[in-house]
Homo-oligomer: A and B are copies of this chain.
Amino acid sequence: VLTATEGPDTQGWRELFAGRVAGMENDALATLLGLAGREDVISFAGGLPDPATFMTDRLAEVARQAIVDEPGVALQYEPTPGLPRTRDWFRSYLARREGVATTFESVMVTSGGVEALDLLNKVLVDPGDVVLMEAPSYLGAEMVTTSYQGEVVGVPMDDDGPRVDLLRDTLDALARRGRRPKFIYTIPDYQNPSGITLTGERRAALVALAAERALLLVEDIAYRRLGTGDAQPPTLWSLNPAGVVLIDTFAKTFFPAARVACVAAPPELIRVMTLAKQTTDQFASTLSQSMLLAYDRQGWLDEQVARARTIYTRRRDAMLDAMGRVLPAGLQWTRPGGGFFTWLTLPEGVDATALAPQAMARGVAYVPGQPFFTRGVDGRRYLRLSYSYVAVDGIDEGLRRLAAVIEQASAPSGEGI
């Protein structure tokens, strides 16, 4: 048995790297996921669903059944845009939940929400192209665009969502430079990382501006099913299906490893995204698709989502309650109506990135806000706290540890922060 060569780039393969690799050299996400692993740390870092929301025995049963009942479907190669039955299922799912019927050619299945973004960026983004995102926004979405050498431009948010007036200014400024953005990416419900929900009024204004400027809207509704109440503003897609790409992942409501998301979009985009998917993973797991449909048929998807909402609502409540009691005066944070996250603003001059190692030393983890902003924007005062993965009895203690670290840093003698 020989041993393969180890170590640095002895063969000069780095010389072969494409230009786009420079845009991928961002280890922020990996670092972030790495923070969550230690046993003695109460982690508000990861944005993971809690496995307690999964109904394990039922998932095991639908997996077994899908293979036994239709091995030729659940095990075999299948069409790139998804099983026809999955596409039809998603159409009825959207009609039921969002009140809008759509065509078979307007929907497809992808291997998770990020893959949908990958396909979309692959077919739309040439090097140097502009993509707009909320500032702050989901780090993974920004990484996809930069992996295709696109340029991300941020649109500031307030408590009602992205500022449509500032978006108009940005579009004007870009137009003066002769540039048309390829799309704007938004997470309207309980946004990652801010927890903010785009209001109904602001949604209408955003859709109207986008239609006026022929700006493609990309709407990621990863957390929409995990609201704490029942009243929700309509999806952007339901306001204008011809102008919106809706990405609905089942990672948080079914289970992440299923790697199943569904997309609704103008058919011209579905067509080219399907072409792109032919040369990536070819099709999303049909075992997962079969499981998802069987799960929903038996009413278990709704049941699991209801169970998840109960768990996350309890944690959200415990989180906001503890923040009010435990954190030092003068801090600000968002009050999410669902999802996984709240967004904390530290006192002027306190740097959440610099503070993270001290927090870890005290046994509490969070994600510093800076990576959620594009280069050049100062996001040092912000940090993201996720309550999705922390049991209620850990929340109080975790926040006490965090409060102690912030207090120390905010004290007049808190040097070097």
Q: Which residues of A are interface residues toward B (Cβ below 8 A)?
A: 1-14, 16-21, 24-26, 29-30, 33, 48-49, 51, 54, 56-57, 59-61, 63-65, 67-68, 71-72, 74-80, 95, 99-103, 105-106, 111-112, 114-115, 117-118, 122-126, 129, 140, 143-144, 147-148, 180, 182-183, 214, 216, 238, 241-243, 251, 255-259, 264, 266-269, 272, 275-276, 278-288
Contact = CB atoms under 8 A, between A and B. Distances in A.
A5 B105 CA distance: 11
A185 B109 CA distance: 29
B4 A272 contact: no
A60 B64 contact: yes
A60 B3 CA distance: 37
Given A2-B101, A16-B216, A285-B285, A57 B63 contact: no
B71 A54 contact: yes
Contacts of A3: 100-102
Contacts of A99: 1-2
Contacts of A267: 6-7
Contact of A64 (B9, B33, B64): B64
A123 B286 CA distance: 28
A67 B75 contact: no
Number of copies: 2
A56 B71 contact: yes
Contacts of A71: 51, 54, 56, 59
Contacts of A216: 13, 16
23 contacts: A1-B100, A2-B99, A2-B241, A4-B106, A6-B105, A7-B267, A8-B268, A13-B216, A18-B123, A18-B148, A21-B275, A24-B272, A24-B275, A24-B279, A56-B67, A60-B67, A63-B287, A77-B256, A115-B281, A144-B279, A258-B287, A280-B281, A285-B285
Contacts of A125: 18
Contact of A242 (B4, B49, B126): B4
A76 B48 contact: yes
Given A256-B76, A256-B77, A282-B114, A1 B214 contact: no
B123 A17 contact: yes
Contacts of A4: 100-103, 106, 241-242, 264
A264 B5 CA distance: 12
Given A117-B279, A140-B278, A144-B279, 14 more contacts: A1-B100, A4-B100, A5-B242, A10-B242, A16-B180, A16-B182, A48-B76, A51-B76, A60-B63, A60-B65, A63-B67, A140-B282, A259-B284, A287-B288
A3 B95 CA distance: 10
Nearest to A68: B60
Contacts of A100: 1-4
